[in-house]
Chains A and B, each alone.
Chain A
Amino acid sequence: MPRYFTEEHEWIDVDGDVATVGITDFAQGQLGDIVFVEVPDTGAELSKGGDAAVVESVKAASDVYAPVDGTVTEGNGQLEEDPALVNSDPEGEGWFFRMTLGDKSQLDGLMDAAAYKAFCDAL
């Protein structure tokens, strides 16, 4: 299952026509203690680069953008009870939402793991 990364520090796992989205370990480390996550409603139409979710750390609120176009199929309900999952397992249990892929060609513009690591190292 290929995993892609954005310059806004989201990851996206693609499985056929469906994708799972979250924020990277690097991002959670920068944000610090996560106290609230607002995931999109099922059925929400997302467009690449548009607002998709909000993550609140102790210090600030940050937007999470849709990495590609698509429709939300599921938000991670666990984050409501346990937002700290984003800190403890950002690229696993701490996923944000699942979505359909409206335009698979948009994945071509994203980074793979190696490219993302190089991107972070350069920051």
Chain B
Amino acid sequence: MAQGGTAPRLAVSTTTGVCDMREDEEVAIETATLPLDAWHRANGGRMVEFAGYWMPIQYEGIMAEHLWTRENAGLFDVSHMGQLALSGDGVAEALETLVPGDISALKPGRMRYSLLLAEDGGILDDLMITNEGDQYGIVVNGAVKWEDIGHLRENLPDDITLNHNEDYGLLALQGPKAVDALARLVPEAAGLVFMQATRATWEGHAIGLSRSGYTGEDGFEISLPNDALTAFADALCAMDEVKPIGLGARDSLRLEAGLPLYGHDLTPAIDPAEADLGFAVSKRRREEENFPGAARILGHLEDGPPQKRVGLLVDGKLPVREGAKLFDGEDEIGVVTSGGFAPSVGAPIAMGYVPTSLSAPGTTVAAEVRGKRVPCTVAAMPFVSHNYVRKTGG
């Protein structure tokens, strides 16, 4: 057997090894290991190369891990992501020259999803920005973190300090039981609401904590020193409701939650209006028209972009994956950017780009898979409702 022509999103290719004998070996840059590498292997993680690191694609199986996270709590190692911090006078205003969010209005202890934009309004990365009081913390995608750092250094004034914190790892604990589990170790967790962050200590270690994540479930991201990661992961996984979860389920969870993956659903060719991320372009910034690509993006928000990111419900059982072409009758109209079997939906789903005229929910298009046309229906996202906790004590 060999991997088929449809490129898998995650790097299951050369590194799961055995089923892929015929695949061309990629010329490998040295793959790095994360601080929890040995922990993943000891816990049965099947390691693959992703974003330049060895990372666990699964432990007991993607389907089981996905469903576990939706019902209990899943622990994800996302230490490949870049943890940056910006400080200095006027840092919020400086950051606003590169992203379309209202960073000045972000209160201490609050965080916001935003987009790093190229001069033409194309998306260079999506990121989380947190006002930590004395600095702004930024979490960027692992695959483009070095490019992001270069872009920030090049475009921010010299008196803004950029720190790349490689001494800290990042864990995500996601699922309805995440709060109970985490609060046993860090009581402050229970006091946060969605998109709120705080600093805390755990066994003498300074840690950062936010109620956020990328699965659609309630959950947290925890930043902690590399030398504390193993003990912290062990402490969580010793609890009945917590299991380690790999990249495979992380991908299917975020797909069901309708959340785009950078490098796949978002690229420098796509602007925020096309990506249906207009919420990330703040009201004040729209009025001031002073972010990269403002003319293009505001025009697209006003008049509708030529193409738009949509969700697709796939008819039947055949998975429609990244790269599949989309058709309206005989006309090729777009492309699938993410897709696969959705364990909580119980059917294949996808995300892709279609002309705005065909982007209304209920519109029927067809995806081409191995020469066959598979009917798909444009669907509102998320596919599975978000369960974010916006008030405590509720």
Given contacts A9-B18, A58-B343, A59-B8, are A32 and B2 in contact (CB under 8 A)?
Answer: no
Evaluate contact between B340 and A59: CB separation under 8 angstroms.
Answer: yes
B-chain residues with CB within 8 Å of residue A80 when the two chains form the complex: 317
Roughly how many angstroms separate A31 CA and B2 CA in the complex, as a whole number?
11
Q: How would residues 1 to 31 of chain A score, 1 for a CB under 8 Å from any chain B CB and 0 otherwise?
A: 0000001111000000000000100110011
A-chain residues with CB within 8 Å of residue B2 when the two chains form the complex: 8, 62-63, 65
A58's nearest neighbour on chain B, judged by CB, is: B62
B162 within 8 A of A: no
Most chain B Cβ neighbours within 10 Å, of A33, A38, A55, A59: A59
A27 to chain B, nearest CB (A): 6
A87's nearest neighbour on chain B, judged by CB, is: B61
**A33-73 interface with B by 8 A CB criterion:** 33, 35-36, 38, 54-65
Of B9-17, B97-105, B143-151, the one touching chain A: B9-17
A118 within 8 A of B: no
Q: How large is the interface on A (under 10, 10 to 19, 20 to 34, 35 or more residues)?
A: 20 to 34
Roughly how many angstroms separate A83 CA and B18 CA in the complex, as a whole number?
21
A114 within 8 A of B: no
Partner of A59 from B1, B5, B12, B370 at Cβ < 8 Å = B12
Partner of A33 from B12, B21, B57, B63 at Cβ < 8 Å = B63
Most chain B Cβ neighbours within 10 Å, of A30, A58, A64, A65: A58
Evaluate contact between B370 and A8: CB separation under 8 angstroms.
Answer: no
Roughly how many angstroms separate A10 CA and B2 CA in the complex, as a whole number?
11
B contact face: mostly helix, strand, loop, or mixed: loop
Given contacts A55-B1, A60-B8, are A36 and B318 in contact (CB under 8 A)?
Answer: yes
Evaluate contact between B57 and A59: CB separation under 8 angstroms.
Answer: yes
Partner of B1 from A38, A64, A123 at Cβ < 8 Å = A64
Evaluate contact between A8 and B1: CB separation under 8 angstroms.
Answer: yes
B-chain residues with CB within 8 Å of residue A65 when the two chains form the complex: 1-2
Evaluate contact between B317 and A83: CB separation under 8 angstroms.
Answer: yes
Evaluate contact between A8 and B252: CB separation under 8 angstroms.
Answer: no
Partner of A31 from B19, B21, B252, B318 at Cβ < 8 Å = B19
B344 within 8 A of A: no
**B48-73 interface with A by 8 A CB criterion:** 57-58, 61-63
Evaluate contact between B19 and A58: CB separation under 8 angstroms.
Answer: no
Roughly how many angstroms separate A30 CA and B12 CA in the complex, as a whole number?
10
Evaluate contact between A38 and B18: CB separation under 8 angstroms.
Answer: no
Q: How would residues 102 to 123 of chain A score, 1 for a CB under 8 Å from any chain B CB and 0 otherwise?
A: 0000000000000000001001
B353 within 8 A of A: no
A31 to chain B, nearest CB (A): 7
Roughly how many angstroms separate A35 CA and B345 CA in the complex, as a whole number?
13
Partner of B321 from A8, A38, A61, A83 at Cβ < 8 Å = A61
Roughly how many angstroms separate A36 CA and B248 CA in the complex, as a whole number?
17
Evaluate contact between B58 and A61: CB separation under 8 angstroms.
Answer: no
B4 within 8 A of A: yes
Q: How would residues 1 to 37 of chain B score, 1 for a CB under 8 Å from any chain A CB and 0 otherwise?
A: 1111110101010001111011000000000000000
A-chain residues with CB within 8 Å of residue B317 when the two chains form the complex: 35-36, 80, 83
Evaluate contact between A58 and B252: CB separation under 8 angstroms.
Answer: yes
Roughly how many angstroms separate A50 CA and B250 CA in the complex, as a whole number?
34
Evaluate contact between A56 and B319: CB separation under 8 angstroms.
Answer: yes
Roughly how many angstroms separate A1 CA and B57 CA in the complex, as a whole number?
38
Roughly how many angstroms separate A123 CA and B370 CA in the complex, as a whole number?
30
Given contacts A60-B4, A60-B8, A63-B4, are A35 and B319 in contact (CB under 8 A)?
Answer: yes
Partner of B3 from A27, A60, A83, A123 at Cβ < 8 Å = A60
B341 within 8 A of A: yes
Q: How would residues 282 to 300 of chain B score, 1 for a CB under 8 Å from any chain A CB and 0 otherwise?
A: 0000000000000000000
Partner of A62 from B19, B61, B318, B370 at Cβ < 8 Å = B19
Partner of B341 from A9, A26, A35, A38 at Cβ < 8 Å = A35
Q: 24 A–B contact pairs at CB < 8 A? A: A8-B19, A8-B21, A32-B58, A32-B63, A33-B341, A35-B348, A36-B318, A36-B319, A56-B319, A56-B341, A58-B62, A59-B12, A59-B62, A60-B321, A61-B8, A61-B319, A61-B321, A62-B2, A62-B3, A62-B19, A63-B1, A63-B4, A65-B1, A123-B18
- In the complex, the 5 A-B pairs of residues with the closest C-beta atoms, listed nearest first: A61-B4, A60-B8, A33-B63, A35-B341, A58-B62
Beyond A35-B319, A60-B4, A83-B317: 10 further Cβ-contacts under 8 Å?
Answer: A27-B1, A27-B18, A30-B18, A32-B248, A33-B61, A36-B341, A61-B4, A61-B8, A61-B321, A65-B1
